[in-house]
Amino acid sequence: MQKKVFIVSAICLLFFAALAVASGIYINANIEDITRRHLGADIQFEDVEFNLTPLPAVVFSQLKIKKGTNRITIPSLVLYPDLLALLTGNVVMRKAVVDEPLILSEKVSESTPQEKGISSESPPAPASPFTTAAIPVGMINEIMVRGGKLVLNSKDQKMPPVSFAVAVDKIEKKDQAISVQVKDFTVDEIGLSFAGNVAITSFSPLGLKIDASKAAINPAALKDFLVKFEFLDAALGNQIPKIDQVSAGGLKLNIDPESGELNLVSKTLSFGQNQLQDVSVNLSKKKGYTLKCGKVLMDVGTVQGWVNENPKGKEALEQLFLKARLKDLKATGKIELSAIDLKGGGENGSQISGAMDLKTEGLKIRLVAENGKEQNFTISRLETRITLEDGKPSLQISNLQLASSRGGTGLLKGTLEIPVELKKARFEATLDSFQVFDTAVNLKAVKNSGEKLSFDMDVSGPSLTLLAKGQLQTPGREKADFWIRMTECRISRGSKGKKEIVGNQNHFPDKKWELSAGKAPATGNFDFTVIKGRTLTGEASVKRFQYNDLPQVNDVHLLLTCANNRAVVRGSMGICQVDLFVNAVFMSPDQLVAQVEGKGANMNLTPFMACFSRELPLFLSGRLSLMTSLFVQGQDTETLLDSAHGEVTVTLRKCTVRKVSSLDYRLDFLVDMLNAAGITSLRDDAINFKKGLAKAEITKGRIILDRFSLTGPLLDVWGKGEFTTKEKQLKLAGQVRTALGITNDFKIDRNFQRKKT
């Protein structure tokens, strides 16, 4: 019995061996015809072997397939025939194992019209596409690819080669495409590696669709690929931040070099602590690019690193540091971007356009000032819409809540665009004792839709104190760009000598303020560079304005016209009962030219002197009239004062000088006049003058008294003199005449530097 079994087994083995050898001989004899008939390609190979163990197989060495400009080189191809199918006359491979195939798919550049016109011969017919459609379904049940590479080359220098390294578990024919199940697919040129499905509809031109549950992307390699293939402009590519590696989930990629389009869709893209969700990217040489994303969770430190790496971003940050006098800025926390829709390039232009929403909670910002002081802020909530138009960003802030580590909070609700468009804005903003380093800010601003912005603010710091209350409207009235009206504005600069004033009683009843009693320190040349290149018109009015301890200015009304790198200001104001009319031209970078005319009639002398001194009103009373015209020009305060020239006329009526025996040192020259007249005592310690007159010319820091006179029942005085503003030196020469007709000469030389007490 065992002998019969052995004989039957041997016969079967010999039969299958003979069948395997016969199939190998058949395949060897007909493989060229098979490939030519189904693929339209030529085939060559160096050697063929027939193996019976462990399974019957036909092994081809150095197999080469050629179709037009496309070539395939396979070092080893092992075919496992379906022996039972061969018995029915069908050639079916149960399995094919391909070792490290090299597929060269070359895209021939199109001839230009000039090139076509060189030859009179008819151009050759274009080669038929090297597609997968002609491969019969069922010819090969399973294909295994061990490694391998596909190279898409081009004679066009603008299209560099692209290679695909593949390790395949299973390949099957579905409809008109080959579906590839890969366990390791790497595209070095675009920095992509993944496991999943690949659908190949054509090799030349390459039609490739990728569907992977997981993938890894090298952004630097992908960026280089997109720039080389002209999917992205090189300048825009340089603006893309550096990212080491990106992990993708649910990736779908479609590359079509023939049409010049690349489409990428991914459920997630992750790198570091950052993640993008529901991403869709379309890149087209003609149409440019579009980017859509459902949500982005970003670490703000990563964003700050990108800004520092980008030359334009770094420059903008340095300018911010310079203007804000900062040494460093660091932020920590998360920001969320959503509803992202961006486009650019191609028909859309070179700049980015689109929009996105931004949210953040618990964002912390640390500032370091130039002097080394540190300050922390917390943005507890931020909701804003970012819009990009031709590369220019604007923000629509709907909710902002922040706090200072030194004290104080801030709140903004409504809609506010940056750059600010007040006409569309609708918001309410408050800062409650908000501390920024050594400066405290209180603010309340309200803007309803289509109405004026109302504000009430105060700023108190070591070198600046500011109080302002009023309304702002833009655009302004009569086609002006803005209109501003303030009921009160007080500014104090400098750090020496402070005096207390009462703050706004409506909003901050317990707040007291200190205004500097000293003059602002010299700061060199004026800086009018802000007007360079600007075109602006506006109107401003201030009910009460005060700068440092200078006299208060009332009823200010100014008109501004800014164009051709200069700003022209025309207006009027009242100061110490004198009406002033101003015409000034500010020229970039530092030139100021101004003409001032003043007129005051029948003014009360006591409050007039109170504008300049607390002490002098105690000694003087009467009525005063004044007319003046003054012209100044310069690039700093010193040259401005030195250049002043003009004239002034002063008239006094019913003037009384009291407390003559204890006169202020600035009025001591009157005692010299009395001494010259021989008057040593006065009834009631006072002297009266019916009228007085002084005409003076102002030039180069000197006030030259052409003539002056005082007429009274007890004494008449007349003469001329000079006062130098820098040295505060007064020189007078003239005559005095008593009621008895006695006339005497006098000379006065006094210095009015402030006496120390």
pLDDT tens column, 443-472: 999 988 777 889 999 999 888 899 999 998
- Asked if residues 554 and 616 have their Cβ atoms less than 8 Å apart, the reply is no
Question: Three-state SS for 305?
Answer: helix
For residue 728, the enclosing domain spans 603-751
Q: Cα–Cα distances in Å, from 717 out to 247, 389, 655, 713, 731?
A: 97, 75, 14, 11, 15
Compute the distance between CA of residue 355 and CA of residue 358 in angstroms, rounded to an integer: 10
| Tokens matching residue 67 | 């179709």
Return the H-helix or E-strand segment holding 321. helix 311-324
Compute the distance between CA of residue 373 and CA of residue 38 in angstroms, rounded to an integer: 79
The pLDDT of residue 168 is 56
| Tokens matching residue 690 | 């019916």
| Tokens matching residue 109 | 């550049």
Residue type, 153: N
729 found inside a domain: yes
Residue type, 590: D
- The arithmetic mean of pLDDT across residues 627-649, rounded, is 91
pLDDT at 369 over 80: yes
Q: Please give the span between the terminal C-alpha atoms of the chain, in angstroms, as a whole number.
A: 141
The pLDDT of residue 54 is 73
Compute the distance between CA of residue 400 and CA of residue 443 in angstroms, rounded to an integer: 15
The pLDDT of residue 258 is 66
pLDDT tens column, 221-240: 877 877 776 666 677 677 77
> Residue 167's pLDDT band (boundaries 50, 70, 90)?
low
- Asked if residues 660 and 690 have their Cβ atoms less than 8 Å apart, the reply is no
Residue type, 434: F
Compute the distance between CA of residue 735 and CA of residue 694 in angstroms, rounded to an integer: 15
- Asked if residues 208 and 255 have their Cβ atoms less than 8 Å apart, the reply is yes
> Residue 740's pLDDT band (boundaries 50, 70, 90)?
confident
Compute the distance between CA of residue 741 and CA of residue 754 in angstroms, rounded to an integer: 37
Question: Three-state SS for 616?
Answer: helix
| Tokens matching residue 371 | 């002097």
- Highest mean pLDDT, choosing among 120-129, 497-506, 739-748: 739-748
428 found inside a domain: no
The pLDDT of residue 23 is 54
pLDDT at 60 over 60: yes
Question: Three-state SS for 315?
Answer: helix
The pLDDT of residue 329 is 87
**Mean of all residue pLDDT scores within the chain:** 78
66 found inside a domain: no
> Residue 499's pLDDT band (boundaries 50, 70, 90)?
very low
697 found inside a domain: yes
HEC-encoded secondary structure of 666-714:
HHHHHHHHHHHHCCCCCHHHEEEEEEEEEEEEEECCEEEEEEEEEECCC
pLDDT tens column, 121-163: 444 444 444 444 445 545 666 677 776 666 655 544 444 444 5
Lowest-pLDDT range of 58-62, 154-158, 502-506? 502-506
278 against 616, higher pLDDT? 278
Compute the distance between CA of residue 505 and CA of residue 623 in angstroms, rounded to an integer: 35
> Residue 386's pLDDT band (boundaries 50, 70, 90)?
confident
Length of the chain in residues, anyone?
757
- What is the pTM assigned to this prediction? 0.61
The pLDDT of residue 119 is 43
Residue 370: alpha-carbon gap to chain centroid: 22
The pLDDT of residue 256 is 72
- The arithmetic mean of pLDDT across residues 515-529, rounded, is 59
| Tokens matching residue 723 | 């006062």
Lowest-pLDDT range of 79-88, 272-281, 511-520? 511-520
Alpha-helical regions (H) of 332-405:
none
The pLDDT of residue 569 is 95
pLDDT at 348 over 80: no
> What total number of domains does the chain contain?
1
- Asked if residues 257 and 159 have their Cβ atoms less than 8 Å apart, the reply is yes
The pLDDT of residue 132 is 47
Q: Cα–Cα distances in Å, from 281 out to 17, 261, 269?
A: 56, 10, 12
- Highest mean pLDDT, choosing among 111-115, 422-426, 692-696: 692-696
Rounded to the nearest 10 degrees, the angle between the axes of helix 300-309 and helix 311-324 is: 100
The pLDDT of residue 469 is 94
- Highest mean pLDDT, choosing among 50-54, 491-495, 672-676: 672-676
274 found inside a domain: no
Longest dimension (CA), the chain: 175
Alpha-helical regions (H) of 135-174:
none
629 found inside a domain: yes
Cα atoms found within 13 Å of the Cα of residue 176, Cβ hemisphere only? 7
Strands (E), 240-362: 246-256, 261-271, 274-284, 288-299, 326-332, 334-344, 353-360
Compute the distance between CA of residue 205 and CA of residue 159 in angstroms, rounded to an integer: 13
> Residue 94's pLDDT band (boundaries 50, 70, 90)?
confident
pLDDT at 707 over 50: yes
For the stretch 479-482, contacts whose Cβ atoms lie closer than 8 Å and that sit 24 or more positions apart, written own/partner, are: 479/537, 480/537, 480/538, 480/539, 481/536, 481/537, 481/538, 482/536, 482/538, 482/539
| Tokens matching residue 60 | 């081809």
The fraction of the chain above a pLDDT of 90, given in percent, is: 29
